[in-house]
Amino acid sequence: MQRYFIKLAYDGSSFFGWQTQPREVNIQDALTDAISLILKVESAKLVGCGRTDTGVHASCYYAHFDLESPILDINKTIYKLNNYLAHSVAILDLFAVSPDAHARFDATIRTYNYFIHQEKNPFSNKYSLLFLRELDTNKMNLAAKILLNHSDFSAFSKIGSDNKSTLCKVIEAKWEVSDKQIKFTISADRFLRNMVRAIVGTMLEVGLGKISVEDFEMVIKSGSRQNAGASAPAHALFLSNIKYPFISV
């Protein structure tokens, strides 16, 4: 038995997230169908590095699957998969790993980016949030630093989620401004469902002066989703990087 890691990117606009869902179009099923057809296996059991919500994109995503026989021509297989899959899904790499390598459990760091543009631009709207009101990004960065001092992010978890734990270790969180573009970067060992969008939505309230930086920390300490701001729209969120101890790039 040989285990393979597959690296892909996808535009989540037309998908109901990564995870298999009955009667809903999702990336996991689309990729499983492609692998099963191209590699002529009955049903490839695909395990992803995590879930992404409906409408969220990934510029870097990993999954693993097992085959009884090794793939003889990796490049040809990548070509065939890309030729079969919709334009919104791209296979970036495919490689053999040890039998115990796990796309979800071996991931050490996950990074998300959220994009905002503050000048009307028809070419940015699909992957960035148009936000014309003035934002105090200095205060937003002060709030971002507070995330590194906490581990329980219940306040930013979707109500009703079946989280076994609400503990996450955030190692990076920052806002960067370039002309009329604003980018939020956050990296952690794991994320709760809807966590990044809830954090962004609450930080926008800090940037607008609706709540203070101190209020933001109180939201975290409260552990209540009802105290946090509304979730930012999904279309501007990207899973942008996953780190593994056995992958150098």
Active site annotation includes 215: no
User: Domain check: are 237 and 131 in the same one?
Assistant: yes
Q: What pLDDT does 1 receive?
A: 87
Tell me: pLDDT of 162 over 70.
no
Residues 161, 152: Cα–Cα separation, whole Å: 15
The per-residue pLDDT for 181 is 94
Domain stop point among 44, 79, 105: 105
Report the pLDDT averaged over residues 169-193: 96
Look at residue 50 in the predicted model and tell me its pLDDT: 92
- Residues 10-56: pLDDT tens digits? 999 999 888 887 888 899 999 999 999 999 888 788 999 998 999 99
Verify that 124 and 25 share a domain, yes or no: no
| 103-119: pLDDT as tens digits | 999 999 999 999 999 99
For residue 189, the model assigns a pLDDT of 96
Segments forming the whole domain that contains residue 162: 109-242
Spatial distance between the Cα atoms of 57 and 235, rounded to a whole number of angstroms: 7
Instruction: Express as a percent the part of the chain with pLDDT over 70.
Output: 98
Q: Does residue 115 sit in the same domain as residue 19?
A: no
What is the sign of the dihedral through the CA atoms of 19, 20, 25 and 28? positive
Question: Is 51 part of a structural domain of the chain?
Answer: yes
Residues 127 and 194 in one domain: yes
Q: Mind listing the pLDDT tens digit for each residue in 214-247?
A: 999 999 999 999 999 999 999 999 999 999 998 9
Task: Assess whether 69 and 162 both reside in one domain.
Answer: no
Residue 31 is assigned to a structural domain of this protein: yes
The residue annotated as part of the active site, out of 11, 29, 33, 53, is: 53
Whether 161 shows a pLDDT value over 70: the answer reads: no
At 92-101, the pLDDT tens digits run: 999 999 999 9
Dihedral through CA 17, CA 20, CA 24, CA 27, nearest 10?
Answer: 50
The answer on 116 and 101 residing in a single domain is no
Q: 128 and 82 share a domain? A: no
Do 50 and 121 fall within a single domain? no
pTM for this model (two decimals): 0.94
3 class by beta-carbon count within 10 Å (0-12 exposed, 13-18 middle, 19+ buried): middle
Which of residues 69, 88, 105 is at a domain's end?
Answer: 105
Residue 138 CB neighbours (<10 A): 11
The token pair at 78 is: 């990548």
Are 122 and 177 part of one and the same domain?
A: yes
Over residues 126-146, the mean pLDDT reads 97
Instruction: With CA atoms as reference, report the closest residue to 35 among 95, 98, 85.
Output: 85
What is the CATH number for 99? 3.30.70.580
pLDDT number for residue 145: 98
Q: Which residue among 80, 105, 130 closes a domain?
A: 105
